[in-house]
Every structure is written in structure tokens, then in C-alpha cells.
Amino acid sequence: MNCLKTQVGDLYGLLAQSKAVDEAIFPNLIKIFKRQKIQDCLEFLSQDQNQWQVEKERQDEQMVEVGKYNIKTITDVLKKLQDHKFNQQNYSRENYKEIKKDLIIKISLDKKITKFIKFLVHLTAFDERYIQCGSNSLHLLVQMKVDLKESCFENIKIRNTSLIGANLVRCDLSGSEFENVIISGVNLNQAKLFNCKWRNLGINEGIEMNGHADIVNQVCFSPDEKSLASCSDDNYVILWDVKTEKRKYVLQGKRQVKSVCFSSNGTALASCSGTFVYVWNLRTGKQILKLDGSSKAMISICYSSDGTTLASCSSDRSILFWDVKTGQQKIVLDSHSDDVRSVCFTPDGTTLASGSGDNSIRFWDVSTAQKILFSDNFQKDTQAQFQSSTIINNGLPQSATSIITVLRISQNPNFDAQGALILNGEFVNHQSLNLKSFFKFKGSLILENYTELKQE
């Protein structure tokens, strides 16, 4: 504990020395570094004629004149930072969590230190010896939720850090270089991303759909995989367009919705809420059936492969078969000794499996409504129906690609890049996969040349 406090106090004390500097000098230094293409900031700041130049730059802009003390203080702090752990280690790692927590508390209310930390981020564009220091500084700014919108971060070099949740809306990151940086949850809306080199990016998200206000109980893809249905304890069923992430329909129930299932042709959607099963026409968004036959709450539903039969199960321990065309009950199965929590048809529709709170899974012959006794022949016949997707080493089907899209339906912030402009450069993740298509999916504009920029 004492060691931790010492580390926090040591770093804070070092950063706090910058409070003695007039913060207005930082943008002028960056301007001079850029104009003169400085690569060794310490050497530059140590020369008397350059100190005079910085002061003269301030006078030209009618700013308050400062003495050499400002430059000397900055130089001293940078010399100490160069060999500090803050310039050597990745402070976004878990083992630095407590250090950061205490450090952020100390510096969050001090705008002068915050200005200096921003200066350290900009310094990475010129002096490579301060890349880790500047990377940790940007991470701290993000953790502190400092307003970074519309900032100019041209040519900065950031590596070995996490920028999760960073708000970089309308920032200019042209010429920037990112290496081994986690960008999950970053907001790059309308950012300028020209000639960037972003490599080994970490992003553990794909499409994320926000819409429900309570537990999401079930999701289901449409047969053509273009739509996704979700249901929730917030009493809503939402039909999503997978490509655009937009809601196509919002279907409101009176109670928590526990299960959803598409018909085999994708034209109808069934949902269960309370003691009822509802069937919706997806062309019109209108309810076409309301099925009532359970004495207790429905838990799960499933369409047969031919779309003519709908199975439902409930807390009253029963399984019901419904004729979808007429809305009439066809069969009632009652054999479980506890709630029936799940039902599923085999692909050929001849067998139904059910799972219950009585710890059992049972199989039913759909044509006879009789329980099937498990046998070797039944096992072989059932397994044969699932051979179309060959499983290798208990892994993914052969047809699966190495890019896995994760669909998350939550209220957490997600990666955004709507209206971001990308020209040239590269954006590659840890698996060496090009992420430009992902950026494009998120709304970025991929420009081929500067002519297109003028048109935009």
C-alpha cells in the first residue's frame, strides 16, 4: 500500500511541477515544433536562442511575455519523465488500476495539469522518446472524461494503451499512428482520418444494437439473415435490420416477452407474453393471431420447418401444438413434472425436443404425440439431420469465416464512426484483418482521392 502511494505521489508531484508554467506556452511550442520539424525537444529547449524564439512567438501573438523560467521548468519535467515508468509501462493495464484511480482524483480538478497532459499527447508527433508517455496521457484524458471533441491530433503516435469509450468526435487524426491500441467504444463520428497507420488494433465488438430497457430474453435471425428479432422484459419485441442496425418494427406487448421465433418463410414472427402466443405479419407489422391455451405464463415457442405448426411450452408443465393457419390447438403434451422451459423441432419437423425444470429432456413424435424412447437407431436418425454443417474438432462449421460478428443488444456505448472521412492509410486489427469495411459499415466514408473530398 505504501509503495502504491509512493508511486502515485511521485508521478503526481512530477506532473504538478507543470502548474508553474503559463499554459498558453504549450500550443506555441507545438506550433514551433511542427514548423521546424523538431525531433529532439530537449535539445531544442536547451538552446538559449530557441528559448528567445518561443518568447518572441508569444509576443507576436500579443500574449503575456514569459521568461526563461517557463522553458526551464518544462525541460526539467520532460527530462524526469523520460526515465519514469510513466514513459515505459502501459498504464491501461489492470495492475495500474489503483494507481490511476488515485492519480485521477488528484489531477481531475486541476486544469493546468490537464493542459500539460494534452501537451504530452501532442509531443508524440515530434519526439519518439515520449510515445509511451503521451499514450498513457491520452488514456488518462479518456478516463478523466476530458472533452476532446474537435481536437487536432495530427501525426500523434499512440501505442500500447486503451482508449475504450474515447469521445473523438470531429477530431483531426490525420497522419496518426496507432500500434496495439484498444479502440472499443470509441466515437469517431465526423473525424478526419487521412493517411493513418493504425495497426494491431483491439476491438472486441462488431455490431451493437441499442434499444431495450430491460433484460433481453431471446434473439432470433430471420431465415434470410437480414433481420433479427429480439424480445425483452421491457414488454417489447423489436425487429432489426442487421445491415443498418436500425429498427424496422417495434411491437409492444402488455407483459414481459419471453420468446420470439420466425416462420420458415420469414413472413411471420411469433412471440409469447404472459399466457398468450402472438403471431405478427412482418409485411404489415400487424398482429394476425392471438393464441390462448395455457393456464400459466408461456416460456418458449418454436415453428416447425414447414411453417404450419407452432409449438409452445409454459409454466403449467404443458406443451401445446398450434395450427398456424387456423389458430386452433392441435395437440397437448403433458408429461413433465416441472415447468417446460424450451422446445425445438428437428429440421424435418417429425420430432420435438423439450427441456424442463425437472432436469429432463424428452423427445416427442409429432405425428403421434407420443413420447419417444431413446435408442441407438433414434440417435443415429436424429444426428443425421444435422450433418449439413460439418463440425471440425468441436469448433465452427467449415463455412464459418475467421471474422466473427458479435451482435450485442445493450445500453452500453459502442464504437461509432458515422461520417468519418478515411483517405488512404491502413486500419488493421490483431488478426491482421483490414478494418476499413468495418469502419464503412459504421458509417465512415472511404475516399479514393482528394477529388472525392471536394465533392463531399
DSSP 95-112: GGHHHHHHHHHHHTT-HH
All structural domains of the chain, each given as residue ranges with its CATH number in brackets, are 2-146 (no CATH), 147-205+416-456 (2.160.20.80), 208-384 (2.130.10.10)
pLDDT at residue 420, rounded to an integer: 96
Q: Burial letters for 436-456: b for 16+ Cβ neighbours within 10 Å, e otherwise?
A: eebbebbbbbebeeeeeeeee
Q: Looking at residue 392, what is its pLDDT?
A: 39
Query: Cβ(218)–Cβ(259) under 8 Å?
Result: yes
Separation of alpha carbons 163 and 121, rounded Å: 13
Cell of 104: 485521477
CA distance 380 to 378: 5
Cβ pair 12, 19 in contact under 8 A: no
For residue 115, the model assigns a pLDDT of: 94
Q: What are phi and psi for residue 364, nearest 5 degrees? A: -130, 135
Q: Side chain identity at 191, as an amino acid letter?
A: A
Predicted confidence at residue 310, as pLDDT, reads: 95
Low-confidence residues of the chain: pLDDT under 50: 1, 60-66, 376, 386, 388-407, 411
Q: How far apart are CA 452 and CA 446, in angstroms?
A: 9
Instruction: Quote the pLDDT of residue 375.
Output: 55
Q: What is the pLDDT of residues 363-396, one digit of tens each?
A: 999 989 898 876 545 555 655 554 544 433 444 4
3-state class (DSSP) for residue 28:
helix
What pTM, to 2 d.p., does this model score? 0.57
- Residue-level pLDDT at 391: 38
Strands 426-429 and 408-409, bridge-based pairing = unpaired
